[in-house]
Amino acid sequence: MDPIRYGGGHDVAWPSLLWHKDCGYPGDMFEGTEDGSPEEIELRIAAVLTNLPIIRSLAASIAMRADFDLDSIADLRLAVDEACSTLITQGAPNSTLRCNFLVSPDEIRFVVTVPSTSDTKPSSDSFGWRVLTTLTDHTATWVDGPDDAESPHLVHIELAKRRVEGLPG
């Protein structure tokens, strides 16, 4: 299996989130950086279905540490799983999946991208899309055309899960 690379979008790599300095104290949950801007976590991983458990665990871990309720954590986990498996199926062979989580106090936004030889968007009439829209508050998909003839298309799916109203924190 290809090596898994972790990279930070800001200058924050995800391990610093998972072992956030405040996590040992009740009430101090992770929900963004200290200046209030969203915290970004990026995972680059080989676009193969056997990697799905890693991606969904990361999704669940992020939502859990952001103190989302258990239903929302489970929903995000399923939705990320669904979105990634859709793109993995569509991706060019041997490609890398880029998963981007943006954590702000009121929502977690997830964008997943795969290079593809085709410019077809995932169908919004599919059962998989129904799954995504049921599980999240926002779903979108789009394709970026290649910059030149050599490059692949980039297919994206974006999801957002909002924090349930009335939760503490």
Partner 1 sequence: MTGTQSSRARDQERSNTGYEHLTPLFVEMAELADDEPRRAELRNKLVTGHLPLAEHIAARFSNRGVPREDLVQVATLGLINAVDRFQPERGTDFLSFAVPTVMGEVRRHFRDASWAMHVPRRLKELNLAINAASAELSQRLGRAPTPSELGKHLDLSPEQVYEGLEAGNAYHSMSLDEALSPDSDSDPLGDTLGRKDEALDGVENYESLRPLIESLPERERQILTLRFFRHMTQTQIADRIGISQMHVSRLLTRTLEQLRQGLLSDPEA
Interacting residue with partner 1 among 6, 7, 16, 23 (CB under 8 A): 23
CB of 98 to partner 1, least distance (A): 21
Backbone phi and psi for residue 133, each to the nearest 5 degrees, phi listed first: -70, -30
Q: Interface mask (CB under 8 A) for partner 1, residues 29-48, using x and -?
A: x-------------------
Structural contact between residues 48 and 114, judged by C-beta atoms closer than 8 angstroms: no
Does residue 151 belong to the site contacting partner 1 (CB under 8 A)? no
CB 90 within 8 A of CB 135: no
| Contact residue for partner 1 among 45, 55, 56, 157 (CB under 8 A) | 56
Write out the binding residues for partner 1, residues 84-113 only, by CB under 8 A.
Answer: 85, 89
Q: In sequence order, which residues have a C-beta less than 8 Å from that of residue 34 and are 6 or more positions away?
A: none
CA distance 102 to 111: 8
Among 40, 42, 81, 158, binds partner 1 (CB under 8 A): 81
Picking from 67, 100, 106, the residue whose alpha carbon sits closest to that of residue 84 is 100
Q: Of the ranges 3-11, 81-89, 104-112, 137-145, which one interacts with partner 1 (CB under 8 A)?
A: 81-89
| Three-class secondary structure assignment of 114-141 | EEECCCCCCCCCCHHHHHHHHHCCEEEE
Binding residues for partner 1, rule: CB under 8 A, are 23-27, 29, 56-57, 60-61, 64-65, 67-75, 77-78, 81-82, 85, 89, 123, 125-128, 130-131, 134, 164, 166-169
